[in-house]
């Protein structure tokens, strides 16, 4: 039997369909779905099926000294039990194993992890590796006709990254969290790539805060023929000079010169991951969402592999054939026009051999995709077209006008040939047409404007710009940068886009920069990134890189330990400010987010026990106090962040509570209140019952107990007792 291992379920299904030429069978093996045809079985993993971790004895944050984690043993732990079990069973029956995971560092590691499990019983089994950049019929068939060898060195570099990130993250996160007293679900995370990235955002915010605007003025004059001209000096920093210029203006303007020259805009280069995320960010997609959708499009055969550093199309891609696919459908007009031209592709600065740039691999109708999927797909198609199109050409006009003693200018731009811009509307450059004029022509002055302005601070980083900067500084990789940004949001270190750091972010970065600055600088992580690349190039051993990283961390940790007391004080003060929601309307003291003994959260007055004003808060999710303030209660709005979900804007906690009270007063007694009246049904049990579809006492009475036991894991005895209690409550009219 020939066992084929793909990285994900959907990829396995599509590969099996392509190789089988028809719909394969889909038997389950130890609970995991597989796809079989002829003598072949294709199984999809779920990314990593094993992970690296510390032995169980190191899991207690309070009992284990952080320093012990630096040189502690690292073990492999199972993540996907069903898939591991299936691999062991299939591996015993196989006489050949082919790794067909994504071809990059992470994909190679995922494949080797699975291979070790599947080949456990027969280490000498025939093993090979297929590499492809698109899950299309041509690429998959070609890949399986020309298999290669597994790259164990590339996998080792991926494993080194896992171990290095685990050790740095665990040691620093535990130290900072314990020192600040921020434990439990609200721990403070620190990471080898995450922390220097966060420092970039905080440092930019400090630049903005320290910026002192300078006033300046610009002078405009309106002339006949709808012509507006701008004083040749542009920004004028002296108001006295401005007044003098205005005094010098005459009743008419004289056209001194008219210059016209061509300008050419080169087409954009092909998408690599960084430029793709940047372009997607410009049309409203977060980095993580853009990559999630791109990966779905790749897995379903619509675009090439979206994790690439390449900006040069390889000769093996038949560009004309790809464009011809689109001569019918939504892009028919553009494709037909493009085929009439030379179609010479642009070339970026980076050319790699692992994957080509991101390009469309199949034509699909708009109604076959969800709205967001179509937007990303269209972005990829239009960028691909633009890279094959002609340059755009403009006629640029420069007009010089004298008004009294003062020189003025006007600039115009007229589009001659749209070229690539006809295919790629995301890069906007508008025409500005000047009227037809002659040198020496005189125009009456209709009026003037003195515009008072100020210099502006540097802009905050949007996700697209930050991804580019991380790429330039060597922070993270094309596969990890969007995840790093997602973590910053999830940990409530930043909010909004462009990103604004919270006080918690300030506290963490300021503390690290003062007492362990290497953690916040890109140089440290750059060194480790280069070393991991050297592993894949067989220039250094995995163990050497891991040992080197541990020595670097030991040096950093020494500085942290020596300053533990002041670090704790610094962190606690910064963290406290992020919990302040506003002023108490009863006593004027600060209102602070607090946690109850049983895990509940609420807003309480710092004037307690003299003032007992409180407001309830949701139990789950990370709480983020925003800058927006309620006009009525003068409380800051609160946002709830739940992993994997869109943030929920709770708004003003006081307004939210009043709305909830009003709604509750108009409704019959809530379902949850009735169920929790049954002795033994607490919040956790209620969650289990709700997840199983039990939302009312009637649901509980009608439910089949055996089925409910299986769905909830609750005992049959308890459920029968609760049914009896529910029956009694119903009889009482509750």
Q: Which residue has the higher pLDDT, 577 or 489?
A: 489
Q: Which residue has the higher pLDDT, 644 or 362?
A: 362
Least confident of 145-154, 381-390, 396-405, 696-705: 696-705
Please write the tens of the pLDDT for every residue from 59-76: 888 888 999 999 999 999
Q: Confidence class of residue 373 from pLDDT cuts 50, 70 and 90? A: very high
Token pair in block for residue 263: 């300008």
Question: Can you spell out the DSSP letters for 308-325?
Answer: ----S--TTS-HHHHHHT
Please write the tens of the pLDDT for every residue from 442-484: 999 999 999 999 999 999 999 999 999 999 998 988 888 999 9
Q: How is domain 671-731 classified at the architecture level of CATH?
A: Orthogonal Bundle (1.10)
pLDDT of residue 672: 44
Q: How is domain 160-209+459-572 classified at the architecture level of CATH?
A: Orthogonal Bundle (1.10)
**Residues 345-361: what's their mean pLDDT?**
88
∠ CA 144-149-154, rounded to 5°: 120
Overall CATH class of domain 215-266+392-454: mainly beta
d(CA 41, CA 27): 10
- The candidate with the shortest Cα–Cα distance to 525, out of 277, 117, 191, is 191
**What predicted TM-score, i.e. pTM, was given to this entire model?**
0.82
- In this chain, the answer to whether the domains covering 160-209+459-572 and 215-266+392-454 adopt an identical fold is no
pLDDT of residue 734: 46
pLDDT of residue 401: 97
- The candidate with the shortest Cα–Cα distance to 357, out of 418, 311, 325, is 311
d(CA 526, CA 529): 5
| Residue 733: pLDDT over 60 | no
Fold exhibited by the domain 2-45+80-150 = Rossmann fold (3.40.50)
Q: Looking at residue 593, what DSSP letter applies?
A: E
Q: Which residues contact 703 (CB under 8 A, 6 or more apart)?
A: 692, 694, 719, 723
Please write the tens of the pLDDT for every residue from 118-177: 998 888 899 999 999 999 999 999 999 999 999 999 999 999 999 999 999 999 999 998
Q: What distance lies between CA 381 and its chain's CA centroid?
A: 22
Q: Where are the domains of the chain?
A: 2-45+80-150, 160-209+459-572, 215-266+392-454, 273-388, 579-662, 671-731
Q: Which residue has the higher pLDDT, 700 or 117?
A: 117
Radius of gyration of the chain (CA): 32
**Residues 371-396: what's their mean pLDDT?**
97
- Annotated catalytic residues are 305
- The candidate with the shortest Cα–Cα distance to 288, out of 647, 612, 573, is 647
pLDDT of residue 671: 44
Decide if domain 273-388 falls under CATH 1.10.290.10: yes
Q: How many CB atoms sit inside 10 A of residue 148's CB? A: 12
């Amino acid at each position: 039997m020939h066992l084929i291992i793909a990285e994900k379920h959907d990829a396995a299904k599509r590969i099996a369909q392509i190789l089988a030429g028809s719909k394969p069978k889909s038997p389950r093996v130890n609970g995991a779905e597989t796809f079989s045809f002829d003598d072949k079985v294709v199984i999809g993993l779920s990314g990593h099926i094993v992970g690296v971790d510390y032995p169980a004895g190191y899991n207690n944050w309070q009992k284990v000294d952080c320093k012990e984690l630096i040189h502690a043993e690292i073990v492999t732990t199972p993540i996907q039990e069903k898939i591991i079990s299936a691999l062991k069973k299939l591996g015993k029956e196989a006489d050949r194993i082919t790794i067909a995971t994504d071809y990059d560092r992470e994909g190679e590691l995922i494949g080797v992890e699975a291979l070790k499990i599947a080949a456990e019983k027969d280490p000498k089994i025939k093993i090979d590796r297929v590499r492809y950049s698109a899950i299309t019929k041509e690429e998959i068939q070609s890949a399986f006709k020309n298999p290669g060898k597994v790259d164990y060195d590339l996998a080792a570099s991926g494993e080194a990254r896992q171990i290095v990130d685990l050790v740095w993250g665990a040691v620093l996160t535990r130290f900072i969290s314990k020192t600040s007293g921020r434990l439990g679900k609200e721990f403070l995370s620190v990471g080898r790539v995450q922390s220097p990235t966060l420092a970039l955002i905080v440092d930019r915010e400090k630049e903005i805060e320290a910026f002192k605007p300078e006033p300046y003025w610009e002078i405009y004059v309106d002339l006949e023929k709808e012509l507006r001209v701008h004083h040749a000096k542009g920004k004028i920093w002296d108001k006295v000079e401005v007044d003098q210029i205005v005094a010098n203006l005459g009743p008419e303007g004289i056209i001194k010169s008219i210059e016209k020259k061509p300008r050419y805009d080169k087409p954009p280069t092909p998408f690599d991951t960084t430029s793709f995320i940047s372009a997607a960010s410009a049309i409203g997609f977060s980095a993580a969402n853009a990559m999630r959708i791109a990966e779905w499009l790749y897995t379903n055969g619509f675009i090439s592999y979206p994790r690439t550093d390449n900006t040069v199309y390889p000769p093996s891609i038949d560009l004309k054939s790809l464009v011809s696919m689109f001569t019918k459908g939504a892009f028919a007009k553009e494709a037909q026009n493009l085929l009439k031209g030379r179609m010479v592709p642009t070339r970026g600065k980076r050319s790699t051999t692992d994957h080509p740039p991101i390009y469309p691999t199949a034509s699909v109708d708009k109604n076959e995709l969800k709205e967001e999927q179509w937007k990303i797909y269209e972005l990829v198609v239009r960028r691909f077209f633009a890279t094959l199109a002609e340059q755009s050409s403009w006629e640029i006009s420069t007009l010089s006008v004298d008004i009294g003693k003062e020189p003025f200018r006007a600039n115009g731009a007229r589009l001659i040939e749209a070229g690539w811009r006809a295919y790629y509307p995301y890069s906007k450059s508008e025409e500005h047409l000047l009227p037809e004029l002659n040198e020496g022509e005189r125009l009456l002055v209709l009026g003037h404007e003195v515009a008072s302005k100020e210099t502006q601070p540097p802009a905050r980083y949007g996700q697209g710009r930050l991804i580019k900067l991380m790429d330039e500084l060597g922070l993270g990789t094309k596969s990890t940068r969007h995840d790093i940004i997602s973590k910053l949001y999830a940990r409530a270190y930043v909010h909004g886009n462009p990103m604004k750091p919270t006080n918690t972010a300030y506290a963490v970065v300021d503390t690290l920069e003062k007492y362990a600055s290497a953690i916040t600088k890109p140089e440290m992580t750059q060194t480790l990134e280069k070393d991991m690349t050297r592993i894949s190039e067989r220039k250094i051993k995995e163990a050497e890189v891991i040992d080197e990283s541990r020595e670097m961390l030991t040096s950093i940790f020494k500085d942290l330990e020596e300053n533990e007391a002041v670090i704790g004080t610094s962190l606690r003060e910064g963290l406290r400010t992020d919990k302040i929601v506003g002023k108490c309307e009863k006593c004027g003291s600060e209102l602070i987010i607090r946690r109850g003994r049983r895990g509940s959260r609420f807003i309480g007055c710092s004037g307690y026990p003299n003032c007992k004003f409180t407001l309830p808060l949701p139990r789950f999710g990370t709480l983020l106090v925003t800058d927006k303030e309620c006009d009525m209660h003068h409380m800051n709005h609160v946002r709830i962040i739940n992993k994997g979900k869109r943030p929920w804007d709770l708004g003003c906690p006081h307004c939210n509570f009043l709305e909830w009270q009003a709604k509750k007063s108009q409704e019959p007694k809530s379902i949850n209140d009735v169920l929790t009246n049954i002795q033994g049904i607490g919040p956790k049990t209620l969650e289990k019952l709700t997840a199983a579809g039990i939302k009312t006492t009637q649901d509980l009475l009608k439910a089949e107990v055996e089925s409910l036991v299986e769905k909830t894991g609750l005992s049959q005895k308890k459920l029968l007792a609760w049914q009896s209690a529910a029956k009694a409550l119903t009889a009482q009219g509750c």
